[in-house]
C-alpha cells in the first residue's frame, strides 16, 4: 500500500481523482435513474430502454468529438459548455411531462453533451507522476471508479425507490455541477495543454490496443449495467437488499483493483481478468438468493477494476500524447454506451424471462468480452518491462550544417 500512499501525497493527484470522480458519478447513476423513471411512467422496461438507447447514441457521437475539441479550444471551455447542456437535459427529463419521443430527444441531447472529463484526466495523469507510478495510478483510478459504476447505482436505487426517480436524477445533476466546477478549477487544467490531434477523427481506432480497450470496455461495463438492473428487479422496490448487494460488489472490485495494482501487465492480463468476471456472472445465474448473489458477484467484482486498469494502461502505452484525449474519448464512449445498452437489453430480457434474463445478459456481455480479449491477445502490448507513458509527439527538425572550412 506504500505505492498508493506515495501517489496520494504527490501534489494534485488526490484532488484531481476526487474531483473527476465526483463529476463522473452521474455516469453510473443516470442510466438506472432514467430506466426507473421512464418505466414508472410507461410501465415497461422495454420502452425505458429506448430512452437509454437514445442517450447512448449521443454518447457514442460525443466522446471522441468533444475530446478532440479540447485539443483545439482547451479543456475548460469545452467542459463548461457540455456541463451546462447536460444539466438542462437532465432537468427536462426529470420534470417535463412528455410523450416517449420527448424523453428520447432529451436523452440524445444529454448524451451528446456528456462532459469529456475522463479523457481529460487520463491525458493529465502521465504529466503528474513518474512512469513507474503510472500503472499503480491507473489501478487506483480504476478501483475508485467503483464509486461510479457500482456505488452510483446504489445511490440511485435508494433515492429512486425510497423517494422518487426525479429526485435521483436531480441528485445526479448536483454531483455533476459540484464535481465539474471542482474539476475545471483545478490548476492542472491550466498547466497541461493537449496538443491538437492532426489526424482524422477515428484514426486512433486503427491502433489495435485502443480498439481492444474500447470494445472490451463496452462489453465489461455493459455486463455491469445488466447486473445492476437484474439485482433491482430481484429485490423489487422495497427494502435495502439491492443496494447492499451492489455495495458489496463494489467493495470486492475495489479490493481486487488495489491488490493487483502492483502486478506487471503481461499479454494475458486482460483475458485473465475478463475471464474472472465471466465466471462470477455465470455463477450469478444459478440463484437469486441474497447471499448467493453477494458471493458470486464478489468473484466477478474481483476482476472488474483490474480489467479497467489494464485497458487504461495499454491505451496510454500505445498512442502519442496528442492522441490520448481522443483515444480515451473512444474508450469512455464505449463504456458509457455499454452502460446504457446493457441496462436496456437487460430490461427487455427481464420483461420476457424474469430477473434471470438480466443476469444472462450480463453473462453474455462478459463472455464475449473475454473471447475478444483472447482472440486479439496479440494486440495487447507487454508492459512488464516497458514505460506505459504516451509516446511524445515529434516533428521533423531541419538541421543546418555549417559549410566545411576553406582550405
Go through the chain and tell me how many residues it has: 407
**CA–centroid distance for 73 within its chain:** 24
Contact yes or no for 14/4 (Cβ under 8 A): no
Mean pLDDT throughout 311-327? Answer: 80
In a domain, 121, yes or no: yes
Name which of 100-109, 213-222, 289-298, 346-355 the model is least confident about: 346-355
Tens of pLDDT, residue by residue over 214-246, are 999 999 999 998 998 898 888 865 557 877 888
Q: What pLDDT is recorded for position 83? A: 94
In a domain, 297, yes or no: yes
Give, in order, the Cα–Cα distances in Å from 180 to each of 89, 91, 118, 177. Answer: 16, 17, 11, 5
86 has pLDDT over 90: yes
C-alpha cell at 283: 455463477
261 has pLDDT over 90: no
Mean pLDDT throughout 183-208? Answer: 77
Mean pLDDT throughout 7-32? Answer: 85
Q: Determine the 3-state secondary structure of 358 from DSSP.
A: helix
399 has pLDDT over 60: no
**CA–centroid distance for 296 within its chain:** 22
Contact yes or no for 179/22 (Cβ under 8 A): yes
Q: Tell me the pLDDT band of 391, cut-offs 50, 70 and 90.
A: low
Q: Tell me the pLDDT band of 188, cut-offs 50, 70 and 90.
A: confident
Q: What pLDDT is recorded for position 394? A: 54
Burial class (CB in 10 A: 0-12, 13-18, 19+), 97: exposed
Mean pLDDT throughout 303-319? Answer: 85
Q: What pLDDT is recorded for position 273? A: 92
Nearest to 331 by CA among 219, 189, 197, 177: 219
In a domain, 224, yes or no: yes
Percentage of the chain exceeding pLDDT 70: 90
Mean pLDDT throughout 295-324? Answer: 85
396 has pLDDT over 60: no
Percentage of the chain exceeding pLDDT 90: 28
Contact yes or no for 325/68 (Cβ under 8 A): yes
Residues 91, 103: Cα–Cα separation, whole Å: 11
In a domain, 106, yes or no: yes
In a domain, 7, yes or no: no
Give, in order, the Cα–Cα distances in Å from 22 to each of 161, 229, 250, 267, 287. Answer: 22, 22, 16, 33, 34
320 has pLDDT over 90: no
In a domain, 385, yes or no: no
- The predicted model scores a pTM of 0.76
Give, in order, the Cα–Cα distances in Å from 169 to each of 147, 176, 209, 307, 401. Answer: 17, 11, 35, 29, 65
Residues 166, 95: Cα–Cα separation, whole Å: 7
8 has pLDDT over 80: no
Mean pLDDT throughout 269-294? Answer: 93
Residues 170, 33: Cα–Cα separation, whole Å: 10
In a domain, 399, yes or no: no
Name which of 51-55, 143-147, 274-278, 396-400 the model is least confident about: 396-400
Q: What pLDDT is recorded for position 109? A: 94
Q: Determine the 3-state secondary structure of 194 from DSSP.
A: coil
Q: What pLDDT is recorded for position 220? A: 94
129 has pLDDT over 90: no
Number of independent structural domains in the chain:
1
Q: What pLDDT is recorded for position 360? A: 95
In a domain, 8, yes or no: no
Q: What is the CATH number of the domain that holds 88?
A: 1.20.1250.20
Q: Determine the 3-state secondary structure of 288 from DSSP.
A: coil
Q: What pLDDT is recorded for position 179? A: 93
Q: What pLDDT is recorded for position 407? A: 47
- What average pLDDT does the structure give for the chain? 83
Mean pLDDT throughout 68-79? Answer: 85
Nearest to 391 by CA among 336, 305, 316: 316
Name which of 9-18, 56-65, 238-247, 359-368 the model is least confident about: 238-247
Contact yes or no for 36/43 (Cβ under 8 A): no
Contact yes or no for 379/214 (Cβ under 8 A): no
C-alpha cell at 298: 464478489
Tens of pLDDT, residue by residue over 341-381, are 888 789 889 888 888 999 999 999 999 999 999 998 888 88
Q: Determine the 3-state secondary structure of 395 from DSSP.
A: coil
Neighbours of 116 (CB within 10 A): 27
Per-range mean pLDDT, top range of 25-34, 68-77, 79-88: 79-88
Contact yes or no for 368/219 (Cβ under 8 A): yes
C-alpha cell at 155: 445511490
Q: What pLDDT is recorded for position 198? A: 67
Range of the domain at 237: 13-193+200-379
Q: Tell me the pLDDT band of 12, cut-offs 50, 70 and 90.
A: confident
Residues 376, 66: Cα–Cα separation, whole Å: 28
Q: What are phi and psi of 320, to 5 degrees?
A: -75, 160
**What is the separation, in whole angstroms, between the first and last Cα of the chain?**
68
Could you tell me how many helices (H) and strands (E) the chain has, helices first? Answer: 18, 0
Q: Determine the 3-state secondary structure of 407 from DSSP.
A: coil
Q: What pLDDT is recorded for position 150? A: 65
Mean pLDDT throughout 103-122? Answer: 89
Which residues on neighbouring strands pair with residue 320, listed in sequence order? 391
Q: What pLDDT is recorded for position 237? A: 55
DSSP 114-160: ---HHHHHHHHGGGTS-HHHHHHHHHHHHHHTHIIIIIHHHHHHHHH
Amino acid at each position: 500500500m506504500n505505492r498508493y500512499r506515495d501517489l496520494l501525497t504527490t501534489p494534485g493527484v488526490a484532488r484531481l481523482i476526487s474531483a473527476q470522480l465526483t463529476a463522473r458519478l452521474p455516469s453510473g447513476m443516470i442510466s438506472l435513474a432514467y430506466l426507473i423513471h421512464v418505466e414508472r411512467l410507461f410501465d415497461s422496461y422495454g420502452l425505458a430502454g429506448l430512452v437509454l438507447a437514445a442517450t447512448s447514441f449521443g454518447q457514442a457521437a460525443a466522446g471522441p468529438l468533444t475530446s478532440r475539441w479540447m485539443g483545439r479550444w482547451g479543456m475548460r471551455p469545452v467542459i463548461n459548455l457540455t456541463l451546462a447542456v447536460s444539466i438542462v437535459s437532465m432537468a427536462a427529463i426529470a420534470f417535463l411531462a412528455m410523450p416517449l419521443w420527448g424523453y428520447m430527444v432529451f436523452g440524445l441531447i444529454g448524451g451528446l453533451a456528456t462532459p469529456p472529463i475522463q479523457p481529460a484526466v487520463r491525458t493529465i495523469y502521465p504529466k503528474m507522476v513518474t512512469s513507474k507510478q503510472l500503472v499503480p495510478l491507473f489501478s487506483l483510478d480504476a478501483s475508485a471508479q467503483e464509486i461510479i459504476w457500482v456505488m452510483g447505482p446504489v445511490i440511485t436505487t435508494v433515492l429512486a425507490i425510497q423517494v422518487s426517480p426525479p429526485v435521483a436524477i436531480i441528485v445526479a445533476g448536483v454531483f455533476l455541477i459540484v464535481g465539474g466546477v471542482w474539476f475545471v478549477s483545478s490548476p492542472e487544467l491550466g498547466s497541461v495543454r493537449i496538443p491538437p490531434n492532426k489526424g482524422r477523427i477515428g484514426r486512433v481506432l486503427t491502433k489495435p490496443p485502443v480498439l481492444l480497450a474500447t470494445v472490451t470496455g463496452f462489453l465489461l461495463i455493459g455486463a455491469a449495467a445488466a447486473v445492476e438492473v437484474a439485482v433491482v428487479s430481484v429485490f423489487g422496490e422495497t427494502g435495502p437488499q439491492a443496494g447492499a448487494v451492489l455495495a458489496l460488489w463494489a467493495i470486492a472490485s475495489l479490493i481486487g483493483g488495489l491488490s493487483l495494482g502492483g502486478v506487471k501487465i503481461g499479454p494475458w492480463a486482460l483475458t485473465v481478468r475478463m475471464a474472472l468476471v465471466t465466471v462470477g456472472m455465470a455463477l450469478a445465474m444459478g440463484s437469486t438468493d441474497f447471499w448467493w448473489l453477494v458471493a458470486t458477484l464478489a468473484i466477478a467484482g474481483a476482476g472488474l477494476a483490474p480489467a479497467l486498469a489494464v485497458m487504461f494502461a495499454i491505451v496510454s502505452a500505445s498512442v502519442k500524447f496528442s492522441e490520448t484525449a481522443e483515444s480515451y474519448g473512444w474508450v469512455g464512449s464505449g463504456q458509457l454506451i455499454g452502460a446504457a445498452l446493457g441496462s436496456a437489453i437487460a430490461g427487455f430480457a427481464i420483461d420476457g424471462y424474469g430477473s434471470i434474463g438480466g443476469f444472462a445478459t450480463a453473462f453474455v456481455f462478459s463472455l464475449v468480452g473475454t473471447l475478444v480479449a483472447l482472440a486479439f491477445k496479440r494486440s495487447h502490448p507487454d508492459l512488464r518491462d516497458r514505460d506505459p507513458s504516451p509516446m511524445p509527439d515529434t516533428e521533423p527538425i531541419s538541421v543546418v550544417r555549417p559549410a566545411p572550412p576553406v582550405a
